[in-house]
Amino acid sequence: MATDIKIEWSGFKEFEDLLDQIDDDFGEKDANNILKNACRAAMKPVLETARVLLEPHIDTGQLIKSCKLRPENLPAKTSIHCTPHPQW
């Protein structure tokens, strides 16, 4: 049973232009910090939702406490990260 899915992208060119403008206006280091903080702020609702969904299934709360926003290249010492294969 095949399902046809249509995905339409819009606004990506404008987003790339905005990233270039931020880089030009603030410099590379400040632009990276601006984007990092923006991504962190954008992911907070996802983190909160994950914690709420975990709550009824967790006895100790240790898993909920371990759910944090952190860069992939700076993992927690006890966590294992899986990244997609570059061809995916």
Compute the distance between CA of residue 11 and CA of residue 2 in angstroms, rounded to an integer: 29
3-state secondary structure of 16: helix
Show me where the domains of the chain are located.
15-66
Q: Which of 4-8, 20-24, 82-86 has the highest mean pLDDT?
A: 20-24
Q: Where are the alpha helices (DSSP H) in the chain?
A: 12-26, 28-54, 62-66
pLDDT at 71 over 90: no
Q: What is the mean pLDDT of residues 23-50?
A: 90
Per-residue pLDDT at 73: 65
